[in-house]
């Protein structure tokens, strides 16, 4: 009911794109310094699936899921294969999984393969999230090959051959919310049902396994009362999920496909598909090009994860009555999210001494200022550590220049607010909104219409806006917020004995909570394009960079383009590989990055 035995399908000429030594160390593996080439060849052989590790019993996991709000019925590992479990050097249990290793019983009409671009993104982001301190599945290796599959990248009728690639994923478990939905009776909306309806005996086995293995302290505390044990487990996964999504929000991470089958039963970030780190702050940012309704937008992630927990609660009945789990969800989730989010934001702002009620408003006003000025989320937080209460006027002007340089230019804003609908299409949708809302629902939403009307309005205003006007407006907004921030920092100073020691600690805390480097889409794209041309060095460079997100990377040339060159690149909206490579790893994205679409 839960697993089907499988065998990986061999690939032609597998070769290593990159390996993460910190992730492989979890398994007790290390690359011998004496012969790295032999280690790479061995990794490619075993982690492509061409040779199965001794003792491995490959299997594909069966699960269901609510996808974009509707129950989809049976899904399962359509391209991933569980190899087995390893007891690591520290006594920890780690599951190994190959993603992209071939057809499984759950592949449906697909081929069970993954390609180079999606595999590089998952490999890099898994490790980036770990080094940011966010709970996540890990990635040990990325192996590509000469085997190819046909993919229509943008679903626009232009298919092409792409290289089959496999990622070694590592986690304590890959069991997810959807694993418990295999028992679901026919859904009232879709009519679909899970493949193991009425098999409560298996649900009990799964709960016993998950709780005793991954929540042993709960198993021990409630060994004589199953309902209390299950309630304690549900409370803990509720809290972990709330804290996880709070961490996402604080680094601007958007998952992209928060279906119930992509939610970990132990509170990890899992299944990296059309994810994206937000560049310009936009609370309604949608990273997934195929999320037409914006269901999984950045600002909706907390409520969606709560909704998914509600679906998990339904899947645990009758072993945990719904009246108990729903009460836990209402009492725990929002409170845990708000508490963890504010704690993290205080660290990002260097508010290390006092916890004041007004802090929540200060954070909201900061984000509103970022939104008004189209500021770069990561870089503005990173810059704030160089602001001080007693900064002299000339240095304050320099700081303001640095801050506003991280806000979108007029040219960038014109791309952001460029109308996307044909005027005739918009006219038709406006008419349908009035006369036939049911028909409109089949082709779009009122939210889509409102978004387009906003783009038209903003685009019109931008035609009249000069660069000087924009800079002046942005400086005014930032001055207003920085004065509030200065007043709040002053309260910190007044509560401590040694202001210098406090400031040193403040900067240290800020610099360990505000990353300098994140996996921006354009950085991943440059690495992917190089790898597709046979050069894996950029993937490896970026991996090393992301292993140290909070500090200046040694050995990396940070080339800063001057404003003129940047402007020229911007107007072109495309850019040659040469000018792309000049882009600094920590700079706000070049204009061509806005054309990137991940589905």
Q: For 324-361, what is each residue's pLDDT tens digit?
A: 999 999 999 999 999 999 999 999 999 999 999 999 99
Residue 397 has a pLDDT of 95
Q: Is the pLDDT at 434 greater than 50, yes or no?
A: yes
Q: pTM for the full model? A: 0.93
**CB contact set of 209 (below 8 Å; sequence gap of 6+):** none
How far, in Å, CA of 62 to CA of 350, rounded? 45
Q: Is the pLDDT at 558 greater than 50, yes or no?
A: no
Q: Is 314 exposed, middle or buried (0-12, 13-18, 19+ CB in 10 A)?
A: middle
CB 60 within 8 A of CB 77: yes
Q: Is the pLDDT at 561 greater than 50, yes or no?
A: no
CB 574 within 8 A of CB 592: yes
- Looking at every residue in the chain, the average pLDDT score rounds to 92
Tracing tokens 């990296």 back to the chain, one arrives at 272
The tens digit of pLDDT for each residue in 118-172 reads 999 999 999 999 999 999 999 999 999 999 999 988 778 889 999 999 999 999 9
Q: How confident is the model at residue 552 (pLDDT cuts 50, 70, 90)?
A: low
Residue 3 has a pLDDT of 97
How far, in Å, CA of 430 to CA of 349, rounded? 44
Better-scored residue on pLDDT, 551 or 575? 551
**CA-based nearest residue to 291, from 183, 448, 132:** 448
Q: Is the pLDDT at 570 greater than 60, yes or no?
A: no
Helix, coil or strand: residue 580: helix
The tens digit of pLDDT for each residue in 19-47 reads 999 999 999 998 777 888 999 999 999 99
Q: Is the pLDDT at 563 greater than 50, yes or no?
A: no
Out of 77, 261, 271, 376, which one is annotated catalytic?
261
How far, in Å, CA of 10 to CA of 1, rounded? 27
Question: What sign has the CA pseudo-torsion 398, 400, 406, 410?
Answer: negative
H-only helix segments in 192-254: 200-214, 216-221, 226-251
CB 12 within 8 A of CB 102: no
**CB contact set of 487 (below 8 Å; sequence gap of 6+):** none
Q: Is the pLDDT at 569 greater than 70, yes or no?
A: no
Better-scored residue on pLDDT, 504 or 420? 504
Q: Is the pLDDT at 272 greater than 90, yes or no?
A: yes
Q: How confident is the model at residue 580 (pLDDT cuts 50, 70, 90)?
A: low
CB 197 within 8 A of CB 183: yes
CB 105 within 8 A of CB 77: no
Q: Is 55 exposed, middle or buried (0-12, 13-18, 19+ CB in 10 A)?
A: exposed
How far, in Å, CA of 79 to CA of 176, rounded? 16
How far, in Å, CA of 268 to CA of 246, rounded? 13
Number of residues written out for the chain: 599
Residue 553 has a pLDDT of 54
- Please state, in angstroms and as integers, the Cα–Cα distance from residue 214 to each residue in 133, 265, 270, 306, following that order: 20, 9, 16, 21
Q: Is the pLDDT at 76 greater than 50, yes or no?
A: yes
Q: Is the pLDDT at 253 greater than 50, yes or no?
A: yes
**CB contact set of 210 (below 8 Å; sequence gap of 6+):** 173, 175, 233, 265
Q: What is the mean pLDDT of residues 274-293?
A: 94
Kindly state the tokens that stand for 105. 């019983």
Residue 562 has a pLDDT of 37
Within 13 Å of residue 218, how many CA atoms lie on the same side as its CB?
Answer: 21
Q: Is the pLDDT at 249 greater than 60, yes or no?
A: yes
Residue 564 has a pLDDT of 35
The tens digit of pLDDT for each residue in 450-488 reads 888 888 988 888 898 999 999 999 999 999 999 999 999
CB environment 539-556: b (16+ within 10 A), e (fewer): bbbbbebbbebbeebeeb
Better-scored residue on pLDDT, 205 or 462? 205
Kindly state the tokens that stand for 291. 């999320």
CB 197 within 8 A of CB 73: no
**Percentage of the chain lying above the pLDDT 90 cut:** 80
Strands 160-171, 138-151: pairing is antiparallel
**CB contact set of 508 (below 8 Å; sequence gap of 6+):** none
**CB contact set of 375 (below 8 Å; sequence gap of 6+):** 280, 281, 369, 403, 406, 407, 408
| Angle at which helices 423-435 and 446-464 cross, to 10° | 140
Q: Is the pLDDT at 306 greater than 70, yes or no?
A: yes
Q: Is 562 a catalytic residue?
A: no
DSSP 280: B
- Please state, in angstroms and as integers, the Cα–Cα distance from residue 592 to each residue in 63, 406, 566, 570, following that order: 39, 17, 11, 7
């Amino acid at each position: 009911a839960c697993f089907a035995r499988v065998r990986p399908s061999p690939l032609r000429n597998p070769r290593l794109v990159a390996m993460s030594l910190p992730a492989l160390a979890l398994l007790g593996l290390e690359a011998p310094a004496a012969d790295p080439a032999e280690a790479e060849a061995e990794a490619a052989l075993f982690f492509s699936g061409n040779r199965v590790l001794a003792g491995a019993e490959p299997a594909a996991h069966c699960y269901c899921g609510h996808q974009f709000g509707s129950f989809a019925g049976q899904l399962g590992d359509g391209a991933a294969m569980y190899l087995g479990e390893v007891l690591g050097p520290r006594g920890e249990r780690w599951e190994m999984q190959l993603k992209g290793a071939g057809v499984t019983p759950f592949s449906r009409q697909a081929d069970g393969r993954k390609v180079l671009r999606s595999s590089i993104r998952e490999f890099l982001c898994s490790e980036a999230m770990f080094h940011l301190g966010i709970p996540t599945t890990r990635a040990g290796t990325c192996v590509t090959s000469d085997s190819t599959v046909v993919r229509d990248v943008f679903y626009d009728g232009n298919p092409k051959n792409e290289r089959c690639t496999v990622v070694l994923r590592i986690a304590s478990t890959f069991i997810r919310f959807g694993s418990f939905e295999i028992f679901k009776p026919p859904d009232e909306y879709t009519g679909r049902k899970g493949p193991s309806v009425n098999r409560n005996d298996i649900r009990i086995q799964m709960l016993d396994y998950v709780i005793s293995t991954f929540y042993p302290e709960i198993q021990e505390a409630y060994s004589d009362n199953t309902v209390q044990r299950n309630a304690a487990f549900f409370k803990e996964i509720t809290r972990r999920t709330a804290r996880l999504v709070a961490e996402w929000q604080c680094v601007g991470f958007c998952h992209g496909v928060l279906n119930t089958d992509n939610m970990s039963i132990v509170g990890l970030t899992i299944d990296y598909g059309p994810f994206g780190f937000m560049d310009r702050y936009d609370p309604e940012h949608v990273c997934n090009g195929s999320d037409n309704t914006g269901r999984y937008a950045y600002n909706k992630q907390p409520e969606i994860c709560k909704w998914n927990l509600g679906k998990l609660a339904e899947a645990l009945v009758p072993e945990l009555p719904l009246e108990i789990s729903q009460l836990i969800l209402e009492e725990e989730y929002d409170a845990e999210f708000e508490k963890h989010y504010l704690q993290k934001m205080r660290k990002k702002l260097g508010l290390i001494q006092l916890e004041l009620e007004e802090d929540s408003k200060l954070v909201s006003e900061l984000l509103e200022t970022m939104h008004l000025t189209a500021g770069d989320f990561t870089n503005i937080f990173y810059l704030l550590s160089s602001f001080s209460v007693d900064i002299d006027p000339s240095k304050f002007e320099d700081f303001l220049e640095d801050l506003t340089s991280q806000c979108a230019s007029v040219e960038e804003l014109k791309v952001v607010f460029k109308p996307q609908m044909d005027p005739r299409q918009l006219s038709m949708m406006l008419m349908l909104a009035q006369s036939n809302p049911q028909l409109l629902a089949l082709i779009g939403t009122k939210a889509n219409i409102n978004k387009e009307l906003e783009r038209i309005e903003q685009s019109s205003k931008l035609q009249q806006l000069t660069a000087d006007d924009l800079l002046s407006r942005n400086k005014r907004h930032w001055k207003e917020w920085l004065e509030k921030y200065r007043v709040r920092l002053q309260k910190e100073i007044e509560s401590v004995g040694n202001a210098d020691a406090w400031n040193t600690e403040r900067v240290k805390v800020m610099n360990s909570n505000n990353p300098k480097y994140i996996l921006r889409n354009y950085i991943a794209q440059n690495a992917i394009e190089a790898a597709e041309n046979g050069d894996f060095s950029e993937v490896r460079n970026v991996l090393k960079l992301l292993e140290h997100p909070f500090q200046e990377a040694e050995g990396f040339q940070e080339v800063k383009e001057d404003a003129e060159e940047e402007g020229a690149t911007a107007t072109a909206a495309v850019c040659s590989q040469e000018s792309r490579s000049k882009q600094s790893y920590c700079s706000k994205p070049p204009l061509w990055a806005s054309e990137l679409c991940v589905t």
